């Protein structure tokens, strides 16, 4: 039996029987046989009935649908022809369409594919479900607040990036004259709660336990364990090692040169390879009878085309160390080892991790002196890992 009278949020969520459900002010919820639900505003004008779609549920909630109904009644009272108004703005794209067009403009400005993909993926995941189908001129600060609230505290950095990228799309829309102004998206204006400062550290295995851990890694079969061994020996970031190609390797000179477009710092980075690291590369050749063409990956995925995934390498760490360690944490392990057990200068360890160091110090180590010291450090690290 269909309910009578005004709707409520619980009923809107749970109703499944196809039909049209009345709320008030001519607002109806339409439930289709497939289960989809949408809002329709029915009004009488000049003795004729007119229906106006207000969007689908749940993107348009009951409260929002009521507000839209009131706004449309107000426009009708002021003599505004709703259908003419809609035709006038028909050329205005949705937020999703505007975001994709903006992405086409900025895609080439990113230094690597990971950052480029993150730009559109964060909007697709966190903004499109809320405002993706809204016309870009209809979006205001309240809409942006609604999409930010679920992640503002739990995913702070992501939320800040989403806010910045939504603002960028809206600014792009204004430049195309798709909207007359820009909403104020400041935390104060949106009345967003204060974000607590969070210092997140990747779990790192104590360096004293790393030789025994490495011995266990070397007992594992497969490309994931081999990639992990290489990551630990070189103190590299996971994505740098997993994306490495044979063209970056000089086995004779025992050097790995990572191009700047694959570096987080956007600066080319040379990694001295210890004999142990070179031995890993030789094993990588043999593992799949791998091609050593310059563009070939050293650690290809065994299950799909492309590089080995971060998850595949992380599974090896979890198998052998549980929650005591992470792949990225071995960079901290290397740094602790260097600080507490060796006499290498701080700058040598920082440069080994591809961290920026003072320009004057950099100048003092020109003409290969710093690289020689780093080579000695990486050789000593490999010896330590051998136990």
Domain ranges of the chain: 9-88, 95-175, 207-385
Answer whether CATH 3.40.50.300 is correct for domain 9-88.
Answer: no
Q: What is the mean pLDDT of residues 276-301?
A: 84
Q: Residue 162: CB partners within 8 Å, gap ≥ 6?
A: 122, 123, 126, 127, 147, 148, 151
Which phi and psi (to 5°) does residue 259 adopt? Answer: -65, 155
pLDDT beyond 70 at 302: yes
Q: What is the pLDDT of residue 357?
A: 59
Q: Quote the pTM value.
A: 0.51
Mean pLDDT of the chain: 85
Q: Which fold has domain 95-175?
A: DNA polymerase; domain 1 (1.10.150)
Q: What is the pLDDT of residue 134?
A: 92
pLDDT beyond 50 at 1: no
Which phi and psi (to 5°) does residue 43 adopt? Answer: -135, 160
Q: Measure the CA–CA gap between 116 and 238, rounded to whole angstroms.
A: 18
86 pLDDT band (50/70/90 cuts)?
low
363 pLDDT band (50/70/90 cuts)?
very low
pLDDT beyond 70 at 85: no
Q: Domain spanning 207-385 has what CATH number?
A: 1.10.443.10
- What secondary structure does DSSP assign to 280-333, as a single string? HHHHHHHHTT----TTSBSSB-SSSSSBPPHHHHHHHHHHHHTTS--TTHHHHH
* Most confident of the following: 43-52, 261-270, 322-331: 322-331
Q: What is the pLDDT of residue 88?
A: 54
Residue of 243, 240, 308 whose CA lies nearest to 271: 240
Helices (H), the chain: 9-14, 62-77, 82-88, 95-106, 113-126, 128-131, 141-152, 156-175, 210-217, 223-234, 238-242, 275-287, 310-321, 329-341, 346-352, 359-364, 369-385
Tens-digit pLDDT profile for residues 179-221: 888 999 988 889 888 877 554 557 888 888 899 999 999 999 8
Burial class of residue 138, CB neighbours in 10 A (0-12, 13-18, 19+): middle
Helix (H), strand (E) at residue 27: strand 27-31
Q: Measure the CA–CA gap between 292 and 289, rounded to whole angstroms.
A: 9
pLDDT beyond 60 at 369: no
Q: What is the pLDDT of residue 366?
A: 43
Tens-digit pLDDT profile for residues 114-166: 778 889 999 999 999 999 999 998 899 999 999 999 999 888 888 989 999 99
Q: What is the mean pLDDT of residues 239-260?
A: 91
Q: What is the pLDDT of residue 171?
A: 93
């Amino acid at each position: 039996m269909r309910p009578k009278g005004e709707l409520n949020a619980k009923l809107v969520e749970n109703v499944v029987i196809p039909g049209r459900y009345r709320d008030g002010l001519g607002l109806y919820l339409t439930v289709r046989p497939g289960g989809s639900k949408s809002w329709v505003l029915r009004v009488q004008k000049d003795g004729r009935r007119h229906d106006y779609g207000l969007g689908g549920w749940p993107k348009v909630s009951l409260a929002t649908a009521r507000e839209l109904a009131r706004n449309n009644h107000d426009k009708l009272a002021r003599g505004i022809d709703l259908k003419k108004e809609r035709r006038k703005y028909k050329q205005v794209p949705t937020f999703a369409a505007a975001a994709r067009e903006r992405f086409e403009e900025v895609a080439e400005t990113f230094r690597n594919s990971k950052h480029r993909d993150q730009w559109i993926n964060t909007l697709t995941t966190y903004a499109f479900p809320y405002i993706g189908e809204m016309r870009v001129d209809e979006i205001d600060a309240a809409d942006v607040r609604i999409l930010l609230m679920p992640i503002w505290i739990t995913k702070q950095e992501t939320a800040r990036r989403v806010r910045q990228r939504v603002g960028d799309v809206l600014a792009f829309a204004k430049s195309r004259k798709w909207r007359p102004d820009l909403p104020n998206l400041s935390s104060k204006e949106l009345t967003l709660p204060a974000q607590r400062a969070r210092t997140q550290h990747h779990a790192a295995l104590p360096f004293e336990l790393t030789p025994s851990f490495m011995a266990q890694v070397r007992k594992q079969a497969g490309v994931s364990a081999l990639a992990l061994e290489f990551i630990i020996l070189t103190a590299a970031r996971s994505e740098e090692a997993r994306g490495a190609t044979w063209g970056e390797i000089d086995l004779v000179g025992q050097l790995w040169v990572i191009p700047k477009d694959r570096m987080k710092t956007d600066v080319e980075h040379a990694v001295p390879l210890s004999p142990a690291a070179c031995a890993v590369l030789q094993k990588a050749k043999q593992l799949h009878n791998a091609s050593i063409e310059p563009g070939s990956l050293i650690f290809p995925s065994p299950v799909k085309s492309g590089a080995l995934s971060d998850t595949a390498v992380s599974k090896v760490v979890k198998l052998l160390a549980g929650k005591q360690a992470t792949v990225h944490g071995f960079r901290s392990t290397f740094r602790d080892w260097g600080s507490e057990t060796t006499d290498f200068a701080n700058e040598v360890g920082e440069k080994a991790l591809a961290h920026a160091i003072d320009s004057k110090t950099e100048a003092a180590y020109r003409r290969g002196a710093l690289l020689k010291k780093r080579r000695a450090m990486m050789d000593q690290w490999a010896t330590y890992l051998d136990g």
